[in-house]
């Protein structure tokens, strides 16, 4: 993985690329690429390094989360210096992520995992589309646009894939609440549903 | 290809062989006249879950202790259990309500695998169609409870294995209880002996 | 799909998806790791056991679980049987797409039925098997199963011969398939095609050989390849692969060792793999079936993504169909071999 990173860095010295380690035993680490360089890096991976097969494109939603940190702060009260421990809740901003799994058919290598991240989850959700590089990303990027709401710039035909055109929400996001519009059935589940509470209104 | 038409003729020979063969070969005539002629199901076959009870009385011999593990693990959440309570409101180790909605159940057998009390098992009955869409597809406790003899009838190998396991568990428990009683008896005997002959005090 | 025609020639084609969409991925993310296994049966409902295998393989990669040898053999046997019945059913379906509804499909299903009976005897269900578990399989083979499987495998080449006598030389079939929608290897790779249609385009890429997952490195089999990449190659590649599957099955049924069928260290209920992510893939009968899983250390997947071969193999459908006649569109679609349960998930 480091060789690939070095190759990319020598080809594009200004590119913003890093390695994201994976703690799992399989150790499939990934390359984190900034959106502005993604198209260049992708073309280099395909033409320069032979990763010609883009197998899987998936979206991941990372909602904002609160992280508790213990911070030690020095405080001087009446001339006596003392250390005060303080718990600070810091909000880590959320983002959406697209993960590309690349393989090389000729060299039988892979997977090389490419990750792109959006700025946030509301207004900075565009990323460059890699469909011009790998045609196989076509439907999968449409699916991610459909289910996660990531806007792929340069995609030839960016429409909803699975949901209908008039649908407005993004169902795979973690904060999506399914509407209660399924057929009523007088099963014992009603009590369980009552415990969950009234469903969110979905426009 | 030799001359046009030979491939077609070869195909006709195959269909003719199958047509004529269906009069003589059992292998080629596979149609069964279903309601009159029923297939023999393999032993592992499964349709929907039922509850096993020991002995004659379904309520007394019920193996289920209302631990609700199956309710929690069921992927489509079709099991609904309410624990029974005695007059004083103390929870009893048996379900008051045990419903399975077989219109939701997907026959996956996960409830059987997770049950630690060998209580829930898969039935093989598949003729469950009814005119009532809601009521008769929710099976309650009285419909679910079936005897161990019935279980032996439909899955003989699995049922004997289960019985052997239960027997071994019971023996183990008995042995443990006996050992405990023995230890307790020894302890009291020693105490009594000590009381009868107080040991000489050492300085 | 919406097809725009100029006379009878296709000038534009847009596949429309989603009529069978139930957001499988969301359902799996809301359930435990174990509870996702029966849902994978319902992806490609023609071949449930390979779906099970792909998912359990991804989880085993994620958690670093070992699989006992006997379980690996059972997995290979069931997967190859699945491939057999998928390819046999394909032969029937493509004939039905061509308008030859009847004999071929019925013969194919008669044979497929025997394999489904084997599945029922082993797993309890014909199509919704729910058989594989993390680190192995749910139960051992019932007594007499290997013998009946051996019998079926012995008799299978004869059936394939019969099917070939019926179909492969047939002039009408040749006229409908040969030269229709050829595909170059470069386009096939760039379009992300996988499985039989990728090999039909002449690319030598079989994940069983490349990744050597399971114990496939122990088995001797060939990877057939097409030359032109037209519909006839896509048809024939299935026939040849079915024959190779028979070879693998013969080796596996002889070589299956004794032993446990599930790793005793693997926990099924309340399974919590360590935090991290993994991508596991197998060579499914329809193509590369992959699962991309992210765990945050809890008892349910944080991200559960299926790489559906049926959907991605449709990427080039428009390209293949442009310029062909409307009657060929059905044949081209049939030659790709999709299952809508997997396309829409």
In a domain, B148, yes or no: yes
Total tally of structural domains belonging to chain A: 1
Total tally of structural domains belonging to chain B: 1
User: How far, in Å, CA of C301 to CA of C280, rounded?
Assistant: 14
Nearest to B42 among C120, C167, C172 (CB): C120
Which residues of B fall within a CB distance of 8 Å from C92?
Answer: none
User: How far, in Å, CA of C42 to CA of C37, rounded?
Assistant: 10
Q: What's the CATH number where A14 sits?
A: 3.30.460.80
**Which residue's structure tokens are 């899955």?**
B155
Please determine, for the modelled complex, whether the ipTM score is greater than 0.85: no
Confidence of residue C46 (pLDDT cuts 50, 70, 90): confident
A60 touches chain C (CB under 8 A): yes
B76: number of Cβ within 10 Å: 15
Minimum mean pLDDT range among A111-120, B2-11, B104-113, C43-52: B2-11
**How confident is chain B (203 residues) per 10-residue block, as mean pLDDT?**
73 83 79 83 85 81 82 83 82 82 84 85 83 76 83 83 85 87 83 70 50
In a domain, A124, yes or no: yes
In a domain, B119, yes or no: yes
B108, B115, B122, B157: which to substitute to probe chain C, counting the most C Cβ within 10 Å?
B108
The whole-number pLDDT of residue B2 equals 60
Beta strand B79-85 with B91-101 is antiparallel
The whole-number pLDDT of residue C219 equals 87
Query: What is residue C115's three-state secondary structure?
Result: helix
The string of DSSP letters for C97-155 reads HTT--SHHHHHHHHHHHHHHHHHHHHHS-SS----EETTEESSPPPTTHHHHHHHHHHH
The whole-number pLDDT of residue A193 equals 60
Provide the whole-model pTM. Answer: 0.84
Q: What sections of B30-73 are H helices per DSSP?
A: 69-73
Confidence of residue A202 (pLDDT cuts 50, 70, 90): very low
Which residues of B fall within a CB distance of 8 Å from A188?
Answer: 80, 97, 99, 101, 138
C194-237 per-position pLDDT tens digit: 889 888 888 888 888 888 888 888 888 888 888 888 888 888 89
A192 touches chain B (CB under 8 A): yes
In a domain, A79, yes or no: no
Q: What's the CATH number where B83 sits?
A: 3.30.70.3270
Q: What is the CATH number of domain C2-128+143-260+272-338?
A: 1.10.645.10
In a domain, B92, yes or no: yes
Nearest to C305 among A23, A58, A136 (CB): A58
Which residues of B fall within a CB distance of 8 Å from A194?
Answer: none
Tokens of residue B179, six digits = 């050992």
In a domain, B187, yes or no: no
C297-312 per-position pLDDT tens digit: 888 888 888 988 888 8
Tokens of residue C311, six digits = 């959907």
Residues of the domain holding A42: 2-61+95-196
Q: How far is CA A173 from CA A164, B150, C247, C303, C324, in A?
A: 17, 48, 46, 10, 40
Burial of A41 (0-12, 13-18, 19+ CB in 10 A): buried
Residues of the domain holding B64: 49-154
In a domain, B175, yes or no: no
The whole-number pLDDT of residue C136 equals 85
B-contacting chains (≥3 CB pairs under 8 Å): A, C
For chain C, domain boundaries? 2-128+143-260+272-338
């Amino acid at each position: 993985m480091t060789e690939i990173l070095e190759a990319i860095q020598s080809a594009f010295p200004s590119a913003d690329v890093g390695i994201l380690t994976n703690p799992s035993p399989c150790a499939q680490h990934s390359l984190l690429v900034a959106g502005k360089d993604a198209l260049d890096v992708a073309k280099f991976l395909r033409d320069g390094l032979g990763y010609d097969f883009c197998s899987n494109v998936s979206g991941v939603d990372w909602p904002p989360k609160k992280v508790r940190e213990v911070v030690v702060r020095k405080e001087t009260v009446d001339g006596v210096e003392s250390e005060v421990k303080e718990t600070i809740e810091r909000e880590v901003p959320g983002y959406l992520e697209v993960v590309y799994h690349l393989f090389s058919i000729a060299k039988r290598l892979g997977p090389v995992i490419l990750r792109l991240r959006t700025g946030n989850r509301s207004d900075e959700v565009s990323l460059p589309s890699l469909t011009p590089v790998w045609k196989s990303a076509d439907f999968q990027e449409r699916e991610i646009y459909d289910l996660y709401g990531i806007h792929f710039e340069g995609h030839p035909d960016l429409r909803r894939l699975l949901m209908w055109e008039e649908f407005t929400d993004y169902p795979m996001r973690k904060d999506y609440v399914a509407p209660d519009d399924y057929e009523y059935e007088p099963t014992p589940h009603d009590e369980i549903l009552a415990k969950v509470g009234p469903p969110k209104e979905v426009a | 290809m030799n001359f046009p038409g030979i491939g077609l003729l070869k195909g006709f020979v195959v269909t003719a062989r199958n047509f004529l063969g269906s009069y003589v070969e059992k292998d080629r005539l596979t149609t069964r006249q279903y309601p009159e002629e029923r297939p023999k199901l393999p032993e592992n076959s499964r349709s929907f879950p039922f509850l096993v009870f020991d002995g004659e009385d379904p309520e007394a011999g019920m193996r289920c202790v209302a631990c609700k593990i199956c309710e929690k693990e069921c992927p489509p959440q079709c099991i609904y259990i309410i624990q029974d309570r005695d007059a004083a409101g103390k929870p009893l180790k048996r379900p008051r309500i045990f419903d399975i909605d077989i219109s939701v159940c997907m026959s996956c057998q996960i409830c059987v695998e997770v049950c630690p009390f060998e209580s829930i098992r898969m039935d093989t009955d598949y003729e469950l169609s009814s005119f009532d869409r809601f009521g008769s597809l929710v099976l309650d406790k009285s419909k679910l409870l079936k005897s161990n003899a019935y279980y032996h009838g439909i899955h003989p190998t699995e049922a004997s294995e289960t019985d052997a396991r239960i027997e071994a568990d019971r023996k183990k428990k008995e042995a443990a209880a006996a050992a405990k009683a023995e230890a307790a008896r020894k302890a009291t005997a020693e105490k009594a002996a000590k009381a009868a002959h107080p040991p000489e005090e050492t300085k | 799909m919406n097809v725009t025609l100029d006379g009878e020639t296709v000038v534009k084609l847009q596949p429309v998806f989603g009529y069978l969409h139930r957001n499988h991925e969301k359902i799996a993310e809301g359930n435990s790791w174990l509870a996702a296994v029966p849902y994978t049966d319902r992806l490609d409902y023609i071949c449930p056991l390979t779906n099970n295998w792909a998912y359990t393989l991804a989880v085993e990669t994620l958690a670093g679980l070992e699989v006992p040898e006997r379980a690996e053999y059972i997995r290979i046997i069931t997967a190859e049987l699945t491939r057999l019945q998928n390819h046999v059913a394909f032969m029937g379906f493509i004939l039905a797409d061509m308008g030859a509804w009847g004999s071929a499909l019925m013969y194919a299903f008669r044979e497929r039925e025997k394999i489904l009976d084997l599945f029922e005897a082993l797993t309890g269900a014909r199509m919704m098997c729910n058989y594989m578990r993390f680190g192995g399989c749910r139960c051992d083979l019932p007594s007499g199963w290997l013998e009946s499987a051996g019998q079926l495998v012995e008799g299978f080449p004869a059936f394939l011969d019969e099917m070939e006598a019926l179909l492969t030389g047939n002039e009408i079939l040749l006229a409908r398939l040969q030269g229709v929608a050829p595909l170059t290897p470069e386009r096939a790779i760039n379009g992300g095609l996988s499985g039989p249609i990728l090999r039909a385009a002449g690319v030598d890429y079989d994940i069983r050989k490349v990744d050597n997952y399971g114990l496939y490195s122990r088995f001797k089999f060939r990877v057939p390849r097409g030359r032109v990449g037209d519909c006839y190659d896509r048809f024939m590649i299935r026939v040849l692969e079915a024959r190779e599957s028979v070879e693998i099955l013969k080796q596996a049924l002889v070589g299956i060792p004794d032993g446990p069928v599930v790793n005793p260290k693997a926990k099924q209920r309340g399974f919590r793999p360590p935090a991290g992510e993994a991508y596991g893939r197998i060579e499914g009968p329809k193509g590369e079936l992959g699962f991309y899983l992210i765990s945050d250390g809890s008892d349910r997947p944080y991200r559960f993504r299926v790489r559906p071969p049926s959907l991605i193999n449709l990427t080039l459908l428009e390209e293949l169909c442009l310029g062909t006649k409307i009657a060929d569109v059905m044949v081209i679609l049939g030659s790709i071999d999709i299952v809508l349960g997997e396309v829409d998930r």
